[in-house]
Structure 1
Amino acid sequence: MVLLSLLAACKKENVEPVAEPLTLECDLVAKGESLTLEDRGAGVDYIASCVVNVRGDLTLAPGVVIQFASDAGLRIYEDGSIQAAGTEEKPIVLTGEDQLPGAWKGVISYSADVKNELRHCTIEYAGGGAFNSNGNEAALILWSGTKLRMSDCTITGSAAYGIDATYSNYDVTIDNTTITQCEMPMYISAPIAGHISGGNFTGNATDAIRVLGSKGGHRLVEDQTWKALSAPYRVSAEGDDLQLGAATLTLEPGVTIEFENGTGIQIGESDASSLVAVGSVIAPITFTGVNKVAGSWGGLEFRFTKSPQNRIQNAVIEYAGSAKWPGAIYMWSNPALSVTNTTFRHIGTCVFYDAPKPNYNPGSQTQNPNLGYDSITTESVGGTYCYGG
């Protein structure tokens, strides 16, 4: 009997109480203050029933799980920051009370703090309604000027975009991140596209990284390389064309860029602007339309640039040549360009369209002396070389 009593006492002492989730206050961190949320080992460690506002420094420890109710979310203000550095063994999870797409709003950041980091984090079941007066909807919304380092994260189950970053002046990198089971992986300002490295962006309703064109200050003004990702880039008609300023855009072999109706790429007004699109035989670069109809998008417009870097090789250009730019490749003022081993198909007008020269006289115009092309294949095109009139 004594032995049984001792065993019973030991058993009671070894039973740890189950930690109940704590409810987060709506104004969680005040300006100038800092707060660390620890992993409480409770399964769900914290519950948010409102939009949680952060105006100071918020740190989420590895293993933290926060559950958000309907219409709840996390807002990082200009004076705030978020440091959510999980580990592979103990990721940080932001989830919804209802395990369904759109169960909560998501995360929005206005912060330009260099400490901002999301690493080994999961954001799931968000995108459930507009988070601001502009109507942005996504699991993660980044306001103009945001700084963020994001790596080894997963966004899944968003009822809208995985990431919406359609403003300007960003300092954002996205590395080895998976976005799946969302409406679309991302809608981003064009300068962000060159800061995406690796990851998986498949399994969504639409597998495409939507890129806002050049309206509202989204033109490229710094050299960039766009990597071949698991989903194509898609130039959005909402932002008009993708424009290159004094910058070189380099496309890796295997890159695919889709274009919504009427859009295209403008390769700038100076010799400092250039497009380097050199694919390989097994990994060509593809420029195509979202709508697979001849002339559904504009094309590639080269203006003035005499950069020797302008080069298209081992590429496919298809469904271009809308009335906007009467040619898959539109040339103004004898730009420098080399095109080799490239297939043009289903072009609404011509492959090359040479815009009228100053003092244009019909019948006297000659081909652009700075254009070199070889091993061109055509299929269903209106002509190879056309002159402006």
Structure 2
Amino acid sequence: MLLLLMGFAFSSCSSDDDPLTEEPPQANNPAIVLDCDYFSSGNIHLENVPGAPIDYIISCDPKIKGDILIDAGVVIAFEKNAGLQFIDDANYKIEMKGTSQNPIILTGTEKIKGHWRGLLLSTDNASNVMNHVTVEYAGQIRPGGWNYKGAVIGAWGGVMDFNNVSIRDCQEIGLHWEARAGNLTLANSTFTRNDVPIVTNANHINSIDESSTYSGNVNDYIRLEHTGADKDITFHNIDIPFFSNGLNPNNSAKRTFTFKPGVTILMDAGSEMYFQGAFRYQHETIMVGTPNDRITIKGKEDVAGYWKGLSILSDSPLNEVRFLDISNAGETIGDPNGAIKLGKSVFLKLHDVNFINCFEYGVSLNYGHGYNFSLDYSNLSLDNTPKLFSDHNGVEVTNP
């Protein structure tokens, strides 16, 4: 028995002293501080710093002078007013490839909205990618007079493939993809707790789809600036509304404008959606909801005549508006003042439309001898809208 007890005690002591069973010490190595001189030396590769909770601290706002590669799991903290500018004319490559288990984190040294400037992107390298990257606590109006503002800014031809990116807790704008920017690819990403999640223009609407989430911001809408459009456009049914200052496609080619079921669009004061048919280019308007997923287009404020309405001047046989709620539209001064205005030569299928709190008329018609005018309509209802049809001069029409 004595021998057994001694053996047990010996084995217990050996186990306690065995380094293989001890908890490894928690490393807490300091971050590497990078100043502007570091970024002027050509290509850059930022790797994980062993044992460092934060791998790098960036103290300035450098212009990158080479390709940049950031490894999965790298954490970079930016000091106040610091950032990164990818604006050199050589179109260097940006590669930030995190993973779901080891995302790349770009954060502030203080957890305050707008603490650091963010990323300014204008390189058009087709290989640019940000995958599993989090950008947080950034967003400022950048100096220089270009009105660049936001946490991640695409400008002057910038190209980026965003996939599984999270932009959160940012001041001004989460993602500001300007009219002058290049191709935007966006998927499986999250924009939340920003002042505004995204600001862009009509040509980049196609990239904003149901694969990403955009809610939980101070202003829960996608802000659309600049009315011009020079490509086919699809409005997707995302989890927040679009907020538009109008849409006026150019006439360099035929365009198709598709509004998916369930889409909601807020219109700015005095704005208009204008689908014209100039010369041989007959733009196509396909605005087809369903009984359970109606399309909604309304003023940002619930005021009759807050925005001008839809103008359709195309005779494309594909023009169709169905299961639409249109609110707060109409001209308050001058004619025609319908929420939907139809041109001289037009083709439109118009069914199951509710005109809600519009200024005077639901539909204004401009038709007469020699015009190719075709209007197929049914189930048009008025809700706090006085009259259904007028001619182009604002005179009521009872049976068009």
Asked whether the two chains share a fold, i.e. TM above 0.5, the reply is: yes
Matched, 1:206 2:216: no
Give the TM-score normalised by structure 2. Answer: 0.86
Give secondary structure in 2 for the equivalent of 1:315: strand
Give secondary structure in 1 for the equivalent of 2:206: helix
Structure 2 contact 97–104 (Cα < 8 Å) conserved: yes
Q: Which residue of 2 aligns with 1:171?
A: 183
Shifted more, 78-87 versus 19-28: the winner is 19-28
Q: Which residue of 1 aligns with 2:389?
A: 385
Q: Which residue of 2 aligns with 1:243?
A: 249
Q: Which of residues 249, 254, 264 is equivalent to 2:262?
A: 254
CA distances 1:46-76 after superposition (whole Å, capped 9, x unpaired): 0011103212110110001110111101111
Q: Which residue of 1 aligns with 2:96?
A: 84
Matched, 1:190 2:196: no
Q: Which residue of 1 aligns with 2:6?
A: none
Q: State the alpha-carbon separation in 1 of the partners of residues 95 and 127 from structure 2.
A: 6
The within-5 A match list for 1:11-22 is 18-22=28-32
Deviation at 1:113, TM superposition (A): 0.6
The within-5 A match list for 1:255-270 is 255-270=263-278
Shifted more, 276-285 versus 369-378: the winner is 369-378
Q: State the alpha-carbon separation in 1 of the partners of residues 170 and 260 from structure 2.
A: 29
Q: Which residue of 1 aligns with 2:151?
A: 139
The within-5 A match list for 1:1-389 is 7=17, 18-30=28-40, 33-40=42-49, 41-78=51-88, 79=90, 80-168=92-180, 170-197=182-209, 198-214=211-227, 219-236=228-245, 241-243=247-249, 245=251, 246-270=254-278, 271-303=281-313, 305-323=314-332, 326-355=337-366, 369-389=373-393
Q: State the alpha-carbon separation in 2 of the partners of residues 166 and 9 from structure 1.
A: 58
Shifted more, 164-173 versus 85-94: the winner is 164-173
Shifted more, 319-328 versus 247-256: the winner is 319-328
Deviation at 1:204, TM superposition (A): 0.8
Deviation at 1:128, TM superposition (A): 3.2
Q: State the alpha-carbon separation in 1 of the partners of residues 271 and 65 from structure 2.
A: 40
Question: Amino acid of the residue matched to residue 250 of structure 1?
Answer: T
Q: State the alpha-carbon separation in 2 of the partners of residues 186 and 338 from structure 1.
A: 33
Identity of aligned residues (%): 25
Question: Amino acid of the residue matched to residue 374 of structure 1?
Answer: S
Deviation at 1:17, TM superposition (A): 5.5
Give secondary structure in 2 for the equivalent of 1:370: strand
Q: State the alpha-carbon separation in 1 of the partners of residues 20 and 386 from structure 2.
A: 88
Q: State the alpha-carbon separation in 1 of the partners of residues 150 and 192 from structure 2.
A: 13
Deviation at 1:10, TM superposition (A): 8.6
Deviation at 1:27, TM superposition (A): 4.6
Q: State the alpha-carbon separation in 2 of the partners of residues 178 and 132 from structure 1.
A: 29
Structure 1 384/15 Cα, relative in aligned 2: closer, same or farther at 3 Å? closer
Structure 2 contact 28–53 (Cα < 8 Å) conserved: no
Shifted more, 221-230 versus 149-158: the winner is 221-230
> Which structure 1 residue ranges, 5 or more long, are not aligned?
358-364
Structure 1 contact 28–52 (Cα < 8 Å) conserved: no
Shifted more, 306-315 versus 375-384: the winner is 375-384
Q: State the alpha-carbon separation in 1 of the partners of residues 19 and 376 from structure 2.
A: 89
Deviation at 1:18, TM superposition (A): 3.6
Deviation at 1:231, TM superposition (A): 0.9
Question: Amino acid of the residue matched to residue 44 of structure 1?
Answer: I
Question: Amino acid of the residue matched to residue 353 of structure 1?
Answer: S
Q: State the alpha-carbon separation in 1 of the partners of residues 196 and 181 from structure 2.
A: 23
Give the TM-score normalised by structure 1. Answer: 0.88
Structure 1 277/307 Cα, relative in aligned 2: closer, same or farther at 3 Å? same
Give secondary structure in 1 for the equivalent of 2:80: coil
Shifted more, 315-324 versus 227-236: the winner is 315-324
Deviation at 1:126, TM superposition (A): 0.6
> Which structure 2 residue ranges, 5 or more long, are not aligned?
1-12, 394-400
Shifted more, 62-71 versus 219-228: the winner is 219-228
Q: State the alpha-carbon separation in 1 of the partners of residues 96 and 193 from structure 2.
A: 23
Deviation at 1:16, TM superposition (A): 7.6
Q: State the alpha-carbon separation in 2 of the partners of residues 133 and 28 from structure 1.
A: 27
Give secondary structure in 2 for the equivalent of 1:191: helix
Deviation at 1:208, TM superposition (A): 0.4
Question: Amino acid of the residue matched to residue 51 of structure 1?
Answer: D
Shifted more, 127-136 versus 192-201: the winner is 127-136
**Cα RMSD, aligned residues only:** 2.6
Structure 1 180/17 Cα, relative in aligned 2: closer, same or farther at 3 Å? closer
Q: State the alpha-carbon separation in 1 of the partners of residues 63 and 34 from structure 2.
A: 10
Structure 1 308/10 Cα, relative in aligned 2: closer, same or farther at 3 Å? closer
Q: State the alpha-carbon separation in 2 of the partners of residues 98 and 136 from structure 1.
A: 22
Task: Looking at secondary structure, tell me which structure has more strand per residue.
Answer: 1
Structure 1 187/250 Cα, relative in aligned 2: closer, same or farther at 3 Å? same
Structure 1 220/27 Cα, relative in aligned 2: closer, same or farther at 3 Å? farther
* Aligned pairs, number: 371
